[in-house]
């Protein structure tokens, strides 16, 4: 059969289709796209602002009420279910968007003209033509929320209520993607090299670098991260809003070790090794001996997390061949909200040693790709000392090493990255891959079945209760997961699981999925996270459980950048060429801006809405400015001698870790108190915080010791104007 001759024209990108057209021919289309985008965005925003269900995912009710009032709308409250709806004038929204669009285009044109003059680019694209290109590329993204709203309406009219509810819950992500795509389309042209050949050959670009080969821009971003988050953490501690449990208790470990009391916190009896084999923070002892303060731990944690941007940059540059692309992904790492929640959790727990393991794992993955076995193994050990959870990453990583020579064909399609021998030679891959799997599984069994139970007097590890639906012990849980696939699938495939995975992957524009082998390393622990009862109750990466996943996601995202190299002929690269831009930096820049946009909606940093929203619990003035409560506590602290044994409520508990002993005063039944609702018998003082938002004791009459044992306790003079209650045992 004769082969048919291919007479079709090659597919071109939108930028190429404009290339031959003059700005005079193209500006009507640009005006039309901008106008259509404004109408579509106004329609979508009217829907979002029209209900408290969607509006309060963006900001507080207070700010929602202010925004609606400025637009001329009114909020109506349903007296039955206390829900609220409002009718925002469409014309007001449209006018605001048109004015904002005009300002954005004028700003783009002025900036592009200024940048072109700085580059002294005599062959640059005419200003009007470039502005038209940006208008078409950028304002098409404003159609996305409208398309989502149309699909949501169709789901509702079709009776798919679950789908409609889920789409409503994810509306804020759609807005973030729309804004990120729009912003990226306006930003990338400003930094495009003057010569088109430089665009197609990103390896020729140069950036100012530090002595370690890291761009100075990335160094500035990392230092800014450390300064901002250290300041926030310190202010939280100074304001008495950092809990002792799962945060300042780690500082108590260092104090007790330094003073010969053992590796423990007095939350409970026994060494901390009965909770986790987590000893990495002991490496801070030399510094802690000089400055024995919890603030030291906060500083080192922020430094460690920021340092993770360095291996992210190295890996991204290796696979993208571009310092610009690598810098974008590394800064996106610093803006990644799940990472920031490891620095300051949603419940304001500000220090966890697992963060050191995250950074160690990122450096280990970089060293792995360089073929440096000894440093890789050493960093793996550091990660395991940060928490045994990292064994859940190392075991599938061993499998990944094992199968690489059997799957690899031409250096992952990039053709320019030379991989170490143990990833290309079968005998070496089997040796190191199987060895890592055996060592990781062995370590996990050793810690969970022998060491931790031994330090707990034979009791089951405490996190077995996170999977209560599958059994009471780890052995029973694992067996039921393997033998009851129906129950496993039922618990895995839920709206909560989808929401949790989206929160991790969407800010990265799903880049890790484009490297399926590397992403597969994270699949086992992601599955466990989706089964975790705590995660299912709050399906967002607000806590520390996802820490081992973050390094793998950025490792996979960095590798996927080879797909977007200019010489790549992959289908995804062709698709991005057609959709928007031939510039290889567009995708990593989009990820950077998307991390910023998602963080603005769900995060707590100064780049978030919550930080500036006066109606939000996370407003800067409420959390980061010490209140009168914190000032009054100084008088209370003067009443308690350092050789006393003190029981206190959680948020003042951190101030007593340097005393003889510091016990927890709460409704939790502790072993140190004989599992009874009382303080330990050797307690000298009780300090109760009456004004914190978790406080349930507001006056001395409510204190159980004064009510049930008045002969054993005396109420000390109130020196805090009622903020705190102090009791002293009668001797």
Strand order in the sheet with 661-664: 661-664, 645-648, 685-689, 724-729, 713-715
Distance CA 145, CA 176 (A): 10
Using pLDDT thresholds of 50, 70 and 90, give the confidence band for residue 577: low
Q: Which of 40, 53, 50 is nearest to 168 (CA)?
A: 53
pTM score, whole prediction: 0.91
Query: 588: which 2 tokens?
Result: 């990593």
Examine the pLDDT at 387 and tell me if it is beyond 50.
yes
Distance CA 688, CA 708 (A): 17
Q: Please state whether beta strands 75-77 and 685-689 pair in parallel, antiparallel, or not at all (unpaired).
A: unpaired
Does residue 376 sit in helix, strand or coil? helix
565: which DSSP letter?
Answer: S
Query: 202: which 2 tokens?
Result: 């990103």
Examine the pLDDT at 16 and tell me if it is beyond 50.
no
Examine the pLDDT at 201 and tell me if it is beyond 60.
no
Residue pLDDT, tens place only, 603-642: 999 999 999 999 999 999 999 999 999 999 999 999 999 9
Using pLDDT thresholds of 50, 70 and 90, give the confidence band for residue 573: low
Contact 85, 52 (CB under 8 A): yes
Name which residue leads in pLDDT, 219 or 189.
Answer: 219
209: which DSSP letter?
Answer: B
Distance CA 447, CA 439 (A): 12
Residue 572's pLDDT is what? 67
Cα-to-chain-centroid distance, residue 34: 33
Examine the pLDDT at 1 and tell me if it is beyond 50.
no
Q: Please state whether beta strands 84-86 and 75-77 pair in parallel, antiparallel, or not at all (unpaired).
A: antiparallel
CB atoms within 10 A of CB 370: 15
Residue 494's pLDDT is what? 87
Residue 563's pLDDT is what? 87
Write the CA distances from 19 to 13, 14, 110, 521, integer angstroms: 10, 9, 21, 43
The length of the chain is 731
Sign of CA dihedral 518, 524, 527, 529: negative
DSSP characters over 441-455: HHHHHIIIIIIHHHH
Q: Which of 464, 202, 159 is nearest to 318 (CA)?
A: 202
Residue pLDDT, tens place only, 30-87: 899 999 999 999 999 999 998 888 888 898 989 999 999 899 888 887 766 667 888 8
Across 25-29, 195-199, 371-375, 671-675, the highest mean pLDDT is recorded for 371-375
3-state secondary structure 265-293: CCCCCCCHHHCCCCCHHHHHHHHHHHCCC
Residue 575's pLDDT is what? 61
Sign of CA dihedral 365, 371, 372, 377: positive
Residue pLDDT, tens place only, 225-252: 999 999 999 999 999 999 998 899 999 9
Using pLDDT thresholds of 50, 70 and 90, give the confidence band for residue 447: very high
Residue 703's pLDDT is what? 92
Query: 46: which 2 tokens?
Result: 């009217």
Helix or strand (DSSP H, E) at 286: helix 285-290
Residue pLDDT, tens place only, 245-291: 889 999 999 999 999 999 999 887 778 888 889 999 999 999 999 99
- Cα atoms in the Cβ-side hemisphere of radius 13 Å centred on 117: 5
Distance CA 54, CA 539 (A): 17
Helix or strand (DSSP H, E) at 714: strand 713-715
Query: 404: which 2 tokens?
Result: 């690489």
Q: Average model confidence (pLDDT) for the chain?
A: 87
Q: Who contacts 191 (Cβ-Cβ below 8 Å, separation ≥6)?
A: 115, 324, 585
Backbone phi, psi, residue 324, to 5°: -65, -50
Helix or strand (DSSP H, E) at 335: helix 323-335
Q: Compute the C-alpha angle 288/246/336, nearest 5°.
A: 90
């Amino acid at each position: 059969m004769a082969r048919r001759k291919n007479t079709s024209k090659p597919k071109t990108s939108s930028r190429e289709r404009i290339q031959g057209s003059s700005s005079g021919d193209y500006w009507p289309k640009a005006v039309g796209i901008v106008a259509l985008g404004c109408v579509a965005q106004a329609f979508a925003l009217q829907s979002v602002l029209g209900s408290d269900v969607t509006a309060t995912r963006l900001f507080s009710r207070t700010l929602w009420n202010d925004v609606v009032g400025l637009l001329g709308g009114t909020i109506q409250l349903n007296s039955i279910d206390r829900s609220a709806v409002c009718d925002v004038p469409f014309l007001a929204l449209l006018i605001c968007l048109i004015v904002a669009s005009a300002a954005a285009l004028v700003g783009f044109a002025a900036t592009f003209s200024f940048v072109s003059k700085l580059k002294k680019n005599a062959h640059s694209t005419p200003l009007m033509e470039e502005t038209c290109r940006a208008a078409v590329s950028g304002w098409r993204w404003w159609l996305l929320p409208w398309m989502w709203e149309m699909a949501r309406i169709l789901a509702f009219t079709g009776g798919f209520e679950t789908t409609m509810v889920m789409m409503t819950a994810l509306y804020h992500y759609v807005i973030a993607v729309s804004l990120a795509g729009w912003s990226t389309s306006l930003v990338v042209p400003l930094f495009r090299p003057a010569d088109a050949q430089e665009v197609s050959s990103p390896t020729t670009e140069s950036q100012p670098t530090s002595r370690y080969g890291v761009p100075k821009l990335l160094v500035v971003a990392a230092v800014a991260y450390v300064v901002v988050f250290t300041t926030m953490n310190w202010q939280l501690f100074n304001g008495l809003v950092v809990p002792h449990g799962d945060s300042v208790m780690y500082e108590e470990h260092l104090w007790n070790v330094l003073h010969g009391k053992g590796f423990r916190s007095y939350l409970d009896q026994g060494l901390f090794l009965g909770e986790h084999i987590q000893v990495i923070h002991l490496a801070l002892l030399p510094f802690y001996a000089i400055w024995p303060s919890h603030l030291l731990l906060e500083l080192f944690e922020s430094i460690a997390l920021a340092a993770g941007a360095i291996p992210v940059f190295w890996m991204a540059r290796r696979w993208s061949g571009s310092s610009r692309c690598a810098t974008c992904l590394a800064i996106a790492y610093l803006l990644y909200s799940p990472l920031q929640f490891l620095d300051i959790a949603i419940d304001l727990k500000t220090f966890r040693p697992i963060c050191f393991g995250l950074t160690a794992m990122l450096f280990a993955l970089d060293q792995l790709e360089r073929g440096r076995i000894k440093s890789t193994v050493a960093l793996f050990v550091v990660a395991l000392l940060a928490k045994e959870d990292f064994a859940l990453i190392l075991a599938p990583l061993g499998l990944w090493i094992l199968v690489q020579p059997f799957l690899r064909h031409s250096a992952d399609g990039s053709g320019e990255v030379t991989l170490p021998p143990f990833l290309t030679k079968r005998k070496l891959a089997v040796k190191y891959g199987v060895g890592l799997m055996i060592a990781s599984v062995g370590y996990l069994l050793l810690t969970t079945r022998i060491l931790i139970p031994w330090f707990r007097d034979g009791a089951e590890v405490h996190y077995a209760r996170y999977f209560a639906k599958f059994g009471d012990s780890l052995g029973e849980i694992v067996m039921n997961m393997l033998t009851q696939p129906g129950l496993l699938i039922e618990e895995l495939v839920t709206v909560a699981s989808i929401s949790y995975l989206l929160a991790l992957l969407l800010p990265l524009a799903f880049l890790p999925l484009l490297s399926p082998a590397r992403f597969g390393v994270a699949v086992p622990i992601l599955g466990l996270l989706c089964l975790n009862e705590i995660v299912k109750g709050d399906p967002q990466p607000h806590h520390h459980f996802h820490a081992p996943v973050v390094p793998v996601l950025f490792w996979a995202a960095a590798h996927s950048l080879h797909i977007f190299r200019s010489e790549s002929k992959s289908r995804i690269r062709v698709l991005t060429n057609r959709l928007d831009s031939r510039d290889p930096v567009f995708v990593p820049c989009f990820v950077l801006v998307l991390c910023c946009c998602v963080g603005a909606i769900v995060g707590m940093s100064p780049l978030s809405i919550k930080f500036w929203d006066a109606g939000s619990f996370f407003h800067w003035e409420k959390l980061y400015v010490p209140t009168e409560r914190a000032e009054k506590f100084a008088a209370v602290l003067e009443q308690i001698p350092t050789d006393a044994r003190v029981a206190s409520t959680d948020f003042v508990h951190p101030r007593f870790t340097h005393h003889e002993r510091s016990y927890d005063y709460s409704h939790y039944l502790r072993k140190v108190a004989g599992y009874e609702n009382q303080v330990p018998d050797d307690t000298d003082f009780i300090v109760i915080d009456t004004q914190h938002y978790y406080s349930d004791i507001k006056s001395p009459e409510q204190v159980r010791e004064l009510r049930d044992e008045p002969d054993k306790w005396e109420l000390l003079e109130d020196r805090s104007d009622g903020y705190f209650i102090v009791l002293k045992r009668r001797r």
